[in-house]
A and B are shown apart, each in its own frame.
Chain A
Amino acid sequence: MAVLTAFRFTWWQRLALGWLVLLVLVAAAAPLLPLPYPPGLPDLANMAVPPFSAARHWLGTDPQGRDVLSILVYGARTAVLLTLPAALLAALVGGLAGAAAGFWENSARVPLTYWLVGTGGTWWVLQLPLPTLGLGLMLIGALLAWLARLQNRPLPTWPLPVDALVVGTATALDTIPRLIVVVAVVASIGLSAPGLLAVMVLTAWPPMARLVRAQMLRVRQLPFIEAARAAGLPERQIWFRHALPHALHPLRTALPLSVAGLLGLESTLSFLGIGLPPEIASWGRLLATVRDEPSAWWALLFPSLLLTLSILSLNTLSRMSTSRA
């Protein structure tokens, strides 16, 4: 197993962590907070009023009359509930893909049944012509696996160039700037939180995969892996239980940076008006309202402040030094 490590915090890092914890707490408790107005409610009598100038709009309203404080609080909820899962999912996908690519490179061989189940599953998920054909392939794969197990016979295997597939896909995604990919995909599939989450994961996993792959190429040469092989452990077990925990180390630094990048991306998309639906509060969209009301400095200042603090905090945390426990 991986060697446990302990973090050593500087003052700046403690401040950063404190800020992020506060943000997560505010996001979690948003529905319970005694906010005077819900985030999507336009107050038609108080459009674009500055802070403390209208009844109970403590941080003012945007040009549509929505309460800025509510937008900030619920925007934090959006940021946490969207960017954090997206970063974690991207780390999971990138980590597994990179680790597999680094460990097996292009030498892996996959039994025919997995090929059938994988191809059929992809066919069905993508809803290609005759989606039931995909289900049929999956069924045949499962049937073959069952028969092979009954007769205790090994199935034929086909080579799977994992490394070429992972590196090729990551390179293909990296050749186009992330914002362009996301804008193109979001504009074509429409606006929805799950769709945006999927797109964010799609564009955020390649850097993770590269880091983990590089680490795995180093780890797999280490003596304990050789020892595990010599002991006769199956390859999958060596990969998952012994090599993977070590190969995932770089993610500890990359994850906060990934969250920071995705936070900026979500805000950028909302600023451009192509992110989340308008009823979902977002710091980026609040920033964008300044275009309608250039004198509304409060709609610029407060979300900018929160965004800057959050991204700086995540960057600070990514530079954490470690000491062996």
Chain B
Amino acid sequence: MALVNQTAVEVNNLLHLSLIQAEVTNHQYVPALAVALPEVRLVGDSLMHITYELRPVAAWDDGRPILGSDVAFTVKLMFCPGLPNEVVRNQYHFIKAVITDPATPRRFTIVCWGQAPEYVKATGDFYILPAATLDPAGRLSRFTLAELQHRAPTAPADTALQALARQYQQGYAGHSPGQLPGCGPYELVSWEKDRFLYLRRKSHWWADQLHPTPLMLRAKPQQLEYVIIPDVATAILALRRGELDVFPQMPAREFERLRTAPATRAALQFYTTDSYNVVTAGFNTSHPALADAATRRALSRCFDAGRLMKATQLGAGQRTVGFISPSDTANYNRALSLIPFDPIQAAALLRQSGWRRAAAPTAGWFRPGPGGTRQQLRLTMRYRAGDPLLTTIALQFQAATAPLDIPVSLLPTEAGSFSEALRVGDFDMYAQVLKGNPFMFNFTSFLHSQGIGVSNFTRFSTPASNRLIEAIATASSNASRQRLLRQFQALMQQEMPIVPLFFLPSRTVADKRLSGLNVGSLKPGYLATTIVRTARATPAP
């Protein structure tokens, strides 16, 4: 329901399945649990019926078939109170109902408010959960989807829903693999926080009955072990010793070193692709000093994105004007200019926004605030501790603002505390890598007023940006969405709640004994389920 981090997506993709799934290699949605891509029917001018049919062989681990009722249950669970579902609530509020038919239990229709092409992908791209296992008493069936969606936050707690939420939460908290079963090809055997996850292929994986087995439903490895090694040097050592098969998202310098060293070049295979991960810096727009766009625009001129990309990615990666990747030529706004590194212009922009540099050296910048107060431009920047890329960005920003007399305190923060600090707004600025994909253009969670306090860390929202985000999510055609997305990029460059610096490349290194490794731009950058390890050649006697 709520993923702690993006890495968790990879493991969830092995445990669970959605109706349709994006293929790593060609970036097209293909059927997963569904037999085919859905049928779409526009009803009137405000409703959309998206009809799916589930694969006849698709079944839960206990042999029960996966049915439309499971999909209806999953959608209801997204709106069940007491669960960490704030983000998915915002994403899926357009679903009006899920219509199932007892006569054809594998066929169902998702009714959507609005007629956006975006909904076709969105309605198929969430994990389906087993109703019979998670809610054997049928507590959720007593509520309609509309009742759950429109339930007031102040409504008295329902004991049945509370019990369901508690049971679901315990499944996660207890680390008990059996409590939250999925319909994916693997089952979680054991995991230990910050150490490892061990997954085993199900002995009766239903997709084995499909001939040929679609790429996304293949499950070649009998077991998959994810080892968490926070230290890059240690991880590379493990890779060189042959203790690791795949090392995704390898830092640039290590990648180049291994690629050019004769010993490792012979033993390893190297892949580089574009990614949809963009390096960003965000402002806390709820702080009075950062509430106006002009100040944010001024500070954005203190990031030397070009040289940062060259220094940290050895020139690979792509500069960008916004959150849309330059690779997405249809939606990327080429009319906009890249944000220049120009501290002199930054000082001029600060003066335009009312800031005045104090006469005394190193005294900083001040401007009158509301009610006769005096605002000072003094910043704290948070970033995840131990990340060399983010550390370099923070140090560069601090060094660029120092001659301007803008004091910047750096706060490297442990990963868990970092997310919480961003959520509660305990920062002035932050540096972070945003992980995206080329399919979804719903910015509600991190730039709409609905996401404030949940995942809109900058707390940015204006009526115009809210309207634009909603219009993008409900655009009726690709052409209109492209137009709106370009408008959105221009608006974000004007408002600058987040400074997009550059898109990272994805670098994957694998043992040469592996075959069938499909690499692509989508996170995590490769497909683990198609990997085959060939036996080491034995020397001839």
Which residue of A42, A277, A279 is within 8 Å of B392 (Cβ)? A42
In contact, B396 and A44 (Cβ under 8 angstroms): yes
Interface size on B (CB < 8 Å)?
28
In contact, A65 and B392 (Cβ under 8 angstroms): yes
In contact, A44 and B410 (Cβ under 8 angstroms): no
In the assembled complex, which residues on chain B have CB atoms less than 8 Å from the CB atom of A65?
311, 392
A26 contacts chain B at the CB level, 8 A cutoff:
no
**With A45-B307, A64-B388: A292-B232 Cβ-Cβ less than 8 Å:** yes
A118 contacts chain B at the CB level, 8 A cutoff:
no
In the assembled complex, which residues on chain B have CB atoms less than 8 Å from the CB atom of A291?
231-233
**With A48-B253, A291-B233, A292-B232: A277-B409 Cβ-Cβ less than 8 Å:** yes
In contact, A66 and B409 (Cβ under 8 angstroms): no
A41 contacts chain B at the CB level, 8 A cutoff:
yes
Give bound CA distance, A320 to B409, whole Å: 43
Which residue of B236, B251, B312, B395 is within 8 Å of A66 (Cβ)? B395
Chain A nearest CB from B385 CB (Å) reads: 5
Chain B nearest CB from A287 CB (Å) reads: 13
Give bound CA distance, A291 to B254, whole Å: 11
Give bound CA distance, A64 to B391, whole Å: 8
A47 contacts chain B at the CB level, 8 A cutoff:
yes
In contact, A44 and B304 (Cβ under 8 angstroms): yes
**With A42-B396, A277-B409: A295-B232 Cβ-Cβ less than 8 Å:** no
In contact, A47 and B311 (Cβ under 8 angstroms): yes
Give bound CA distance, A265 to B48, whole Å: 65
Closest residue of B by beta carbon distance from A292 = B388
In contact, B233 and A44 (Cβ under 8 angstroms): no
Chain B nearest CB from A284 CB (Å) reads: 14
Closest residue of B by beta carbon distance from A42 = B395
In contact, A278 and B307 (Cβ under 8 angstroms): no
In the assembled complex, which residues on chain A have CB atoms less than 8 Å from the CB atom of B399?
40-42
In the assembled complex, which residues on chain A have CB atoms less than 8 Å from the CB atom of B386?
273
**With A41-B399, A64-B391, A65-B311: A273-B412 Cβ-Cβ less than 8 Å:** yes
Give bound CA distance, A42 to B303, whole Å: 13
In the assembled complex, which residues on chain B have CB atoms less than 8 Å from the CB atom of A44?
304, 307-308, 310-311, 392, 396
In the assembled complex, which residues on chain A have CB atoms less than 8 Å from the CB atom of B409?
277, 279
Give bound CA distance, A279 to B399, whole Å: 10
B265 contacts chain A at the CB level, 8 A cutoff:
no
Give bound CA distance, A44 to B312, whole Å: 8
A191 contacts chain B at the CB level, 8 A cutoff:
yes
In contact, B398 and A279 (Cβ under 8 angstroms): yes
A235 contacts chain B at the CB level, 8 A cutoff:
no
In the assembled complex, which residues on chain B have CB atoms less than 8 Å from the CB atom of A294?
233, 236
Give bound CA distance, A68 to B310, whole Å: 21
Closest residue of A by beta carbon distance from B383 = A278
Chain A nearest CB from B305 CB (Å) reads: 11
Closest residue of B by beta carbon distance from A64 = B392
Closest residue of A by beta carbon distance from B304 = A44
B148 contacts chain A at the CB level, 8 A cutoff:
no
Give bound CA distance, A48 to B233, whole Å: 15
B394 contacts chain A at the CB level, 8 A cutoff:
yes
B517 contacts chain A at the CB level, 8 A cutoff:
no
A174 contacts chain B at the CB level, 8 A cutoff:
no
Interface residues of A in 275-292 (CB under 8 A from B): 277-279, 290-292
Give bound CA distance, A45 to B414, whole Å: 29
B291 contacts chain A at the CB level, 8 A cutoff:
no
A63 contacts chain B at the CB level, 8 A cutoff:
yes
In the assembled complex, which residues on chain B have CB atoms less than 8 Å from the CB atom of A45?
307, 311
Closest residue of A by beta carbon distance from B397 = A42
Which residue of B257, B307, B310 is within 8 Å of A295 (Cβ)? B257
Chain B nearest CB from A123 CB (Å) reads: 28
Chain A nearest CB from B73 CB (Å) reads: 42
In contact, B388 and A63 (Cβ under 8 angstroms): yes
Chain A nearest CB from B109 CB (Å) reads: 53
Chain A nearest CB from B95 CB (Å) reads: 43
In the assembled complex, which residues on chain A have CB atoms less than 8 Å from the CB atom of B410?
277-279
A293 contacts chain B at the CB level, 8 A cutoff:
yes
Which residue of B231, B232, B391 is within 8 Å of A278 (Cβ)? B391
Interface size on A (CB < 8 Å)?
23
Interface residues of B in 272-330 (CB under 8 A from A): 304, 307-308, 310-312
Interface residues of A in 38-81 (CB under 8 A from B): 40-42, 44-45, 47-48, 63-66
In contact, A273 and B411 (Cβ under 8 angstroms): no
In the assembled complex, which residues on chain B have CB atoms less than 8 Å from the CB atom of A290?
233
In the assembled complex, which residues on chain A have CB atoms less than 8 Å from the CB atom of B308?
44
In the assembled complex, which residues on chain A have CB atoms less than 8 Å from the CB atom of B411?
191, 277
In the assembled complex, which residues on chain B have CB atoms less than 8 Å from the CB atom of A64?
388, 391-392, 395
Chain A nearest CB from B390 CB (Å) reads: 11
Interface residues of A in 177-218 (CB under 8 A from B): 187, 191
In the assembled complex, which residues on chain B have CB atoms less than 8 Å from the CB atom of A42?
311, 392, 395-396, 399
Give bound CA distance, A294 to B412, whole Å: 22
Give bound CA distance, A291 to B387, whole Å: 11
Chain A nearest CB from B239 CB (Å) reads: 13
Give bound CA distance, A19 to B395, whole Å: 32
Q: Mark B401-418, 1 if CB is under 8 A from A, else 0.
A: 000000001111010000
In the assembled complex, which residues on chain A have CB atoms less than 8 Å from the CB atom of B253?
47-48, 63, 293
Closest residue of A by beta carbon distance from B257 = A295
Closest residue of B by beta carbon distance from A65 = B311
Give bound CA distance, A40 to B395, whole Å: 7
In the assembled complex, which residues on chain B have CB atoms less than 8 Å from the CB atom of A41?
395, 399
Give bound CA distance, A42 to B311, whole Å: 10
In the assembled complex, which residues on chain B have CB atoms less than 8 Å from the CB atom of A48?
253
Q: Mark A298-309, 1 if CB is under 8 A from B, else 0.
A: 000000000000
Give bound CA distance, A42 to B388, whole Å: 12
In contact, B388 and A278 (Cβ under 8 angstroms): no
In the assembled complex, which residues on chain B have CB atoms less than 8 Å from the CB atom of A279?
395, 398, 409-410
Chain A nearest CB from B164 CB (Å) reads: 36
In the assembled complex, which residues on chain A have CB atoms less than 8 Å from the CB atom of B232?
291-292
Give bound CA distance, A187 to B417, whole Å: 11
Chain B nearest CB from A325 CB (Å) reads: 49
In the assembled complex, which residues on chain B have CB atoms less than 8 Å from the CB atom of A277?
409-411
Give bound CA distance, A232 to B36, whole Å: 103
Chain B nearest CB from A24 CB (Å) reads: 26
Give bound CA distance, A292 to B385, whole Å: 13
Chain B nearest CB from A320 CB (Å) reads: 41
In contact, A40 and B311 (Cβ under 8 angstroms): no
Closest residue of A by beta carbon distance from B387 = A292
Closest residue of A by beta carbon distance from B417 = A187
Chain A nearest CB from B193 CB (Å) reads: 17
In the assembled complex, which residues on chain A have CB atoms less than 8 Å from the CB atom of B388?
63-64, 292
In the assembled complex, which residues on chain A have CB atoms less than 8 Å from the CB atom of B394?
278
In the assembled complex, which residues on chain A have CB atoms less than 8 Å from the CB atom of B231?
291
Give bound CA distance, A279 to B391, whole Å: 10
In contact, B395 and A278 (Cβ under 8 angstroms): yes
Closest residue of B by beta carbon distance from A273 = B385
Closest residue of A by beta carbon distance from B399 = A41
Residue of A41, A191, A292 with most partner-chain B CB within 10 A: A292
In the assembled complex, which residues on chain B have CB atoms less than 8 Å from the CB atom of A47?
253, 311-312, 392
Q: List 7 A-B contacts (CB under 8 A).
A: A40-B395, A40-B399, A42-B311, A47-B312, A191-B411, A291-B231, A292-B233
3 smallest beta-carbon distances between A and B, as pairs: A44-B311, A44-B307, A294-B233
* Residues of B participating in the A interface, judged by any CB pair closer than 8 Å: 231-233, 236, 251, 253, 257, 304, 307-308, 310-312, 385-386, 388, 391-392, 394-396, 398-399, 409-412, 414
With A191-B411, A290-B233 known, 18 other A-B pairs at CB within 8 A are A40-B399, A42-B395, A42-B399, A44-B307, A44-B311, A44-B396, A48-B253, A63-B388, A273-B385, A277-B409, A278-B391, A278-B412, A279-B395, A291-B231, A291-B232, A291-B233, A293-B253, A294-B233
